[in-house]
Structure 1
Amino acid sequence: MAKQAKKIWIVLDSSGFGGIESHVEQLALGLSSLSNHVTVVFIQNHAQHPLEKRLQSHGITCVLLDGRIVSLWQAIKTHKPDIIHTHGYKAGILARPIARMMGVSCASTFHSGEKKQGRLHWYDWLDRNTAFLANHVYAVSTPILDTLPCPATLTNNFVDTQQLKPSKGEKIAFVGRLSQEKAPERMLNLATRYPSLHFDIFGDGPLRTQLEAEATENVTFHGAQESMTSIWPQVGLLVIPSKAEGLPMVALEAMARGIPVAAFDVGGLNRLIEHGKNGWLLEPNDMDGMAEVVHTWCSGNEHDKKHWRDNAIDTIETRYSAKAVVPLLLQDYAIFAK
């Protein structure tokens, strides 16, 4: 099975580290662990990229191009990958037609379902309306699947659970981009309701200055993290107050370490979270309910917390781990690469 897709290229355009980049990292490691030759191709060189550094530390080959379609064309023609798997709009728009013309099998994963504004709206439209050029299209949540105008498959994001240790931390944390769709201002709302508790925000983005100006003293902003490895052991509850999501990698990364997630029912989170069992899933915008969840978690005894932590880990191991998902992906590769 793996021999039919020995040389796999993962193609993306990226200048920072977020959910797509985390997915690509896990995908590259998972495919490589099953004896495939994996190369991660950055469409454009945005200087030293945190993902490039992390991949290279694991022995994954990275190629940085100059953003021109002719450069991608020449690279594919020269190296002749068996499979190209694209992530993000620019990678899909450029790589799919080239792969089709060269007879290279191509897959595309769509990670985002929220509406874009301005120029991004047209890039997103073009990405979705050229998705049919791929041999196989994936979406990480049902709402994203519903936006695609071609046949596509619902797929799970996943994380490598090997060597992960359960967290026994107590921090109440937000981890993500400080932007409108992530609704980080809702963490400030929780902080005003519970002045005796402390709330930690890990991430950066366009709303940071405004949020810091409005935050109470029981909120700490830690900025963007090159790696969350040393942070996760300090976290006890992850709050995802987003207005829109796919199937966020940050939720999987937390739950794989036994950190329950409190989130609103957006995107694919209802496939992941079982309310009261491995986390809490609330109706969108129900801030009273979210505040009650914070109280529930803080007042839980050790037996309660162990129950939530163990169920979170079990959910990821069973359905969202690399060992559960990557073999299924390789089966798809083998089918459409024939």
Structure 2
Amino acid sequence: MIWHLIDSSSVGGAERHIATVAGSLMRDAHAVRVMLYQRHGDNPWLRQLDAEGIPYSVLDGTFGGLVLALRSEQPSLVHTHGYKSGILGRLAAMLTRIPVVTTFHSGQRGPWPVGAYDFVDDWSSFSAHRIAVSSEIQSRLPLSTTVIPSYVVTPTVCPDLALPRKIGFVGRLSEEKGPQHFCMLARRFGDLGSWHVYGDGAMRGALEAEFGDVVTFHGVQTNMDRVWPQLGLLVMPSRFEGVPLAALEAAAAGVPVLASRVGGLPTVIVEGATGWMFPYGDLESAGQCLSMWSAQVEHGAMDLRAACWTRAREHFSETRWFPEILKVYEVALGRALR
């Protein structure tokens, strides 16, 4: 049994990454369980896990409860995500002599006190085998780390529908993701298409009050597979990203991405071929990119769709990256998984 341990209150990139890896493990006939450190109210991610048939358990939010669960269930390996599960999970695994793998998803330290927790998480990871989802994240970590980006299960054939004039933001409504910039673009360029937000977060109330006349807010989606075919463009005006799963899922569905030139996004987007990039916060440049997208949509943009799908399939597929995760597991275990 392989545990994926996280302290989660909603759906974000780390949660979607865990679900993707858990699905890969299940298809490869490995026992896996997502372990949430504690319950945070009505977590929409649990509905997603239910929909995907991924088993999970919720612990009691105490270190003692975590140690007791490890001693009782004796998983062969614990894979931690996030600073709280990283710090506590590695210590608990040391006490119970269970191998640990830690994935680092965040490239920027948060404000106090989160930044302090991130610092402790980075330096206390000496007891784990470490993975970073981008080279940018790897470069800030003090200990040697293997880069394995997020990946997606790509369709076997390229989507063949013309790109619709439906522009989307997918993710957490928090300042670092730039949803306010998405809404400002909708206000200025609303004539290019309809504008939609899929996600939730602390900024939703204020954004919906100010921009509800030009942006439709849909909340967290249980199944994004139903949403991607409806979108013609994903906009990611983030301040920082690793290799965001939303961008990969969009590309796999043949949807181009317009994004800030930050973090690992330049490794995902081929400018002019699978999307466009602009300096963070530069809405004039973003507007010029939107005009280029609009001109291509006028002619169906099937070449754009095919390029996006091909990019995801060749560089960010399950076939390419899941075996690399298995290799890290085998090193941590000191043996083959089978």
Q: Provide the TM-score with structure 1 as the length reference.
A: 0.91
Equivalent position of 2:55 in the other structure: 61
- Relative to structure 1, is the Cα distance of residues 47 and 284 closer, same or farther in structure 2, using a 3 angstrom cutoff? closer
Equivalent position of 2:322 in the other structure: 326
> In the TM superposition, what are the counterparts of 1:210-229 in structure 2 within 5 Å?
210-215=206-211, 217-229=213-225
Equivalent position of 2:199 in the other structure: 203
- Mapped pair 1:80 → 2:49: no
Equivalent position of 1:296 in the other structure: 292
- Relative to structure 1, is the Cα distance of residues 178 and 50 closer, same or farther in structure 2, using a 3 angstrom cutoff? closer
Equivalent position of 1:265 in the other structure: 261
Structure 1 residue aligned with 2:140, among 141, 147, 151?
147
Residue identity over aligned pairs, in percent, reads 38
Question: Equivalent residue of 1:275, what SS?
Answer: coil
Equivalent position of 1:173 in the other structure: 168
Equivalent position of 2:149 in the other structure: 156
Paired AA for residue 283 in structure 1 = P
- Relative to structure 1, is the Cα distance of residues 332 and 219 closer, same or farther in structure 2, using a 3 angstrom cutoff? same
Give RMSD over aligned pairs: 2.1
* Structure 1 residue 228: Cα displacement: 2.2
Deviates more, 1:263-272 or 1:100-109: 100-109
Give deviations 1:224-244, integer Å, cap 9, x for gaps.
333323222210000100111
Kept in 2: contact 1:170–1:234 (CA 8 A): no
Equivalent position of 2:8 in the other structure: 14
- Relative to structure 1, is the Cα distance of residues 216 and 26 closer, same or farther in structure 2, using a 3 angstrom cutoff? closer
- Relative to structure 1, is the Cα distance of residues 228 and 191 closer, same or farther in structure 2, using a 3 angstrom cutoff? same
Structure 1 residue aligned with 2:115, among 112, 118, 121?
121
- Mapped pair 1:187 → 2:185: no
CA distance in structure 2 between the partners assigned to 1:58 and 1:224 by the alignment: 15
* Structure 1 residue 47: Cα displacement: 4.7
CA distance in structure 2 between the partners assigned to 1:209 and 1:53 by the alignment: 23
CA distance in structure 1 between the partners assigned to 2:109 and 2:331 by the alignment: 33
Kept in 1: contact 2:5–2:85 (CA 8 A): yes
Equivalent position of 1:305 in the other structure: 301
What is the count of residue pairs matched by the alignment? 331
Deviates more, 1:208-217 or 1:152-161: 208-217
- Relative to structure 1, is the Cα distance of residues 176 and 284 closer, same or farther in structure 2, using a 3 angstrom cutoff? same
Structure 2 residue aligned with 1:112, among 82, 97, 106?
106
Equivalent position of 2:20 in the other structure: 26
Paired AA for residue 141 in structure 2 = L
CA distance in structure 1 between the partners assigned to 2:36 and 2:297 by the alignment: 47
Paired AA for residue 23 in structure 1 = H
- Relative to structure 1, is the Cα distance of residues 164 and 119 closer, same or farther in structure 2, using a 3 angstrom cutoff? farther
Q: Provide the TM-score with structure 2 as the length reference.
A: 0.91
Kept in 2: contact 1:111–1:246 (CA 8 A): yes
Q: Which runs of 5+ in 1 are unaligned?
A: 1-6
Paired AA for residue 164 in structure 2 = G
Equivalent position of 1:137 in the other structure: 130
Question: Equivalent residue of 1:196, what SS?
Answer: helix
Deviates more, 1:122-131 or 1:16-25: 122-131
User: Runs in 1 of length 4+ with deviation above 6 angstroms?
Assistant: none
- Relative to structure 1, is the Cα distance of residues 57 and 163 closer, same or farther in structure 2, using a 3 angstrom cutoff? farther
* Structure 1 residue 97: Cα displacement: 1.7
Deviates more, 1:44-53 or 1:67-76: 44-53
